[in-house]
Each structure stands twice: as C-alpha cells, then as structure tokens.
Amino acid sequence: MVFSSFTFLLCFLPLTLVCYYLARGVRARNAVLCLFSLVFYAWGEPVYVLLMLASIGLNYLFGLLLGKWETPGRRKAVMIAALVFNLGAIALFKYGNFILENLGLLLGSALPRFNFSLPLGISFYTFQILSYVLDVYNRKTPVQKSLLRLATYIVLFPQLVAGPIVRYDQVQAELQERRETLADFVAGAQRFALGLGKKVILANAMGAIADPIFDAAVLPAGTAWLAAVAYALQIYFDFSGYSDMAIGMGRFFGFHFSENFRYPYMAESITDFWRRWHISLSTWFRDYVYFPLGGSRRGTARNILNLLVVWMLTGLWHGASWNFVLWGVYYGILLMLEKYVLDGVLKKVPGILRRMITLLLVLLGWVIFRLESVPAILSFMGSLFTAPFAGLGAYLSGQAGVLENTFWLLPAVVGCLPWAEWIRGRAEGKRWYPFVSGAFAVIVYYLSVGLLMGSTYNPFIYFRF
C-alpha cells in the first residue's frame, strides 16, 4: 500500500486513526498501531509479513539476551548472531540474485536464480532493527522488554517501507509515553498534505518528463539536460514527499521523527549535500559503519579506505546493481577530493558558484543512479556533453506527455528553495499565518487527490530500496 493510493488515503488511514483514538492508554494505542502496521505491510507483502514477524521475534530475543548477559564473549556472540540474521536476510532477498549473477559471470556459466521478490522496505526496517540491537549491545540504550513496544517500533507504518530510518533511541521515550495534541495533529495533517503534493503533483510530473527521455535511444543535449534536471527533481520530491508524509503521520500518533531532508539542492559542497539529503541514512552509516571503522582518526590512508567502504555500501544499499555501487564510489571520491585536495580552493570560490558546481555534480550522480548499465550511462553522458543542443522544441512538440508536464518545472525548482522557511521565519507569529498555511495545505491536498483520480501514474521510487 502506498501513501498516495486511495486505499490508504480514504480507508486505511482514517480507519487507523479512528481505532487509535478510540483506544485508551499508550499500551492499547501501541497495539492498534502495531496491528494496523502489520496489515499495512501484509497489504503489499502478504507472505513476507511472516518474515517480518520472525524478524521481530528474533530481534526481541537478541535484545533480551544482550540485556541479560554481561559476559563480553556471550554478548558479542549474540550481536554477531543478530548481524548474521538481519544482514543475512537482506543479503539473501536483496542481493542474492545479484551475487549469483556476478558469480556466474566470474565462473563463466550462469547460475540458477532465486525466484522471490524483494520484501517491501527491507533496507529500511533492517537498518532500524540494527540500530536497536547495536545500541543495546553498546549499552547506549536500555533493552526493550516489551515485545509490543519493540514490534511497534519496527513495523510502525508511517516509516516502515521508505523511511526515514528512525533510530530506536529517537522514539524510545515516545513508545513508552506520548501525548497527542490537536496542534500536533493539525501540523501533522499539513505536513502530510504537503508531502502528498510533493509526490503527486511534482514528483509524478517530473517523472513523466524524465522517464520517456531516459528511455529514448538518441538524444540532443538540451533534451538530455531536461531529463537530468527533471529526474533530480523527481527523486527529491518523491523521497522527501514520502518523508514529509511519514513525519506528518508520526505526529498524528504523537511521534516526532527527525527531519530527513534540508533543501539538499542548496548545498555548497558534496559534504554539505549529504548533510541535507537522506539525513537518516547518512547519519546511520556514519554512526554504525564509518565511526566503528575508525572514521578519520587512523590516518589519511585508512580514512580514504573507510570513506570508500562506507560510500560503496551506501550505493549498494540503494539497490543490487553495479550502477548503485558506481554511484556510491562516485560520491566517495568526490568527498575525498573535497576533503583532501580541494578544501582550500573551494573556500575561495563564491558561494553561488560553489552551489552550482555542487548541483552539477549531483545531477551527474543522478544520471549514474538512474541508468542501470555502464554503456547507458556513458551514452547519456555523451548526449549531455557532446550532442548538439538544438532539438528540444521538436522533441517536445512530438511528446505531449512531456510537454504537458513541463509546466510543473518552475514550481518544482521553486519548491527546492527554502522560501517556505523564509516565510515561516517572518510570519510564524502573525495572526494570519496559520490560516494561510492551512489553506495552502488544503489546496495542495485537494489538488493531489484530484490529480490522483485523473491519473494512474503513481509509482514511488524509493519503494524499490
């Protein structure tokens, strides 16, 4: 079930809210949330819900054992078992066929493939579970003795399948005790509506521009650049829209999730970009992989190795395909260059130029991300930089689906700028502000619902990961 489906918007969400608010006490409300979250998951993955239940049960057990045992050896064994189970599941389901395919290439003969689909949101919930187990192991957080609370944390539907990756320590207190308020609910509804609008109005429109162009064989440069820009906008509004909806829905239920995006296309450097883009993922890798590997404390050579490992894994997290690995390594190299070679130079470059360079590099990164094969990437890069620029008008005249959606390019570009923050900063205390912002959210909500009714184009990019 996707958030922008009618089943979710018109049936599942209202039903969940009614049952949730009819329940009395946090325990009963957790039970409602847990139950509905399992239904939410089973809706898209009727069989894999069993894997989810097994995962909850086993990780609950791992947590209990880590809380009970004091001997370092035993604790380490439990931690390793937890890693093997959780990473094993993701390795099998997400990377199994990728590994077999590449092994087959190495051995010179095709190996048989697994015949199962990718469990929905496995990359997200595995990382959430790992944050719990590793924090308990490192004694950063107490063990959760209530199976219901742990299960609610793991399956909580607002962020179950596409993030943000909510770490256990961020919601631990709210799982135990939380207070839902009208103000929170209203703010959540507005946030949800804006997220829905980002997805339905902007991301879908940008996708309708980018997809046919990326699928075309021969492209003039102007058309290729249009696709690169449209895809960058699509993935931002798609993913940040989903995060907004998750954060908004969290507030319906009294949870306060951390922000996952902070105007990433305003970044002044690649380092800055990754402080603004998918923040929950980059901080997860920083805290659970980069720091444990030694971070930058063990010398330059080790730091370079650590960066490469972390970014290769970041790429691989996004999908079982070499283009994702390449994309991760691309960022690893850019970050190394920024840190060790260009640091002094970049500081002297004017801010606007730094932003443009960063944006250009990010756009090229999305091309690698979008195209699955190296020849396709090279061909598209060739179109971007070596093809004749003219031809965009002719292309648009023959592609009504693309032309129609170019209307949304300007609102999408404006939507990437922090104007909303700027307005909020100046108007938040004003009497009219809540009414105007509320009215804007209602308009966006109804426009989204209307567009959803009139359109069937509605895929979520991040559901693949």
Active-site amino acid positions: 318
Sign of CA dihedral 298, 301, 302, 303: positive
Q: Residues touching other proteins: how many (CB under 8 A)? A: 46
CB of 10 to other proteins, least distance (A): 4
CB of 40 to other proteins, least distance (A): 11
Return the range that interacts with other proteins (CB under 8 A); candidates 81-89, 239-247, 284-292, 427-435.
427-435
By CB under 8 A, what part of segment 193-212 binds other proteins?
193
Residue 393 contacts other proteins per CB under 8 A: yes
Sign of CA dihedral 359, 360, 361, 362: positive
Identify the DSSP state of 116.
Answer: -
Given the complex with other proteins, which of 185 and 263 has the nearer CB atom? 185
211 touches 234 (CB < 8 A): no
**The tokens of 37 are what?**
């979250």
Given the complex with other proteins, which of 367 and 392 has the nearer CB atom? 392
226 — phi, psi (to 5°)?
-60, -45
Given the complex with other proteins, which of 334 and 444 has the nearer CB atom? 444
User: Pick from 107, 301, 400, 410: which binds other proteins (CB under 8 A)?
Assistant: 400
Angle (nearest 5°) at CA 64 between 62 and 65: 65
Given the complex with other proteins, which of 132 and 380 has the nearer CB atom? 380
245 touches 441 (CB < 8 A): no
**Cβ contacts of residue 28 below 8 Å, gap of 6+?**
none
89 touches 122 (CB < 8 A): yes
Q: How far apart are CA 126 and CA 52, in angstroms?
A: 10
User: Pick from 88, 142, 401, 418: which binds other proteins (CB under 8 A)?
Assistant: 401
User: Pick from 451, 460, 462, 465: which binds other proteins (CB under 8 A)?
Assistant: 451
By CB under 8 A, what part of segment 308-327 binds other proteins?
none
Residue 389 contacts other proteins per CB under 8 A: no
User: Pick from 69, 85, 95, 185: which binds other proteins (CB under 8 A)?
Assistant: 185
Q: How far apart are CA 278 and CA 172, in angstroms?
A: 21
Residue 126 contacts other proteins per CB under 8 A: no
User: Pick from 36, 168, 445, 460: which binds other proteins (CB under 8 A)?
Assistant: 445
CB of 265 to other proteins, least distance (A): 25
Q: How many CB atoms lie within 10 A of CB 409?
A: 17
- 12-35 in b/e form (b: 16+ CB < 10 A) is bbeebbebbeeeeebeebbbbbbe
Residue 96 contacts other proteins per CB under 8 A: no
Given the complex with other proteins, which of 40 and 168 has the nearer CB atom? 40
Identify the DSSP state of 288.
Answer: I
Given the complex with other proteins, which of 21 and 95 has the nearer CB atom? 21
Taking CA atoms, 397 is separated from 230, 403, 410, 418, in Å, by 18, 7, 19, 33
Residue 431 contacts other proteins per CB under 8 A: yes
Which residues are near other proteins by CB under 8 A? 1, 5-7, 9-11, 13-14, 43-44, 46-47, 182-183, 185-186, 189-190, 193, 393-401, 403-404, 406-407, 431, 434-435, 438, 441-442, 445, 449-451, 453-455
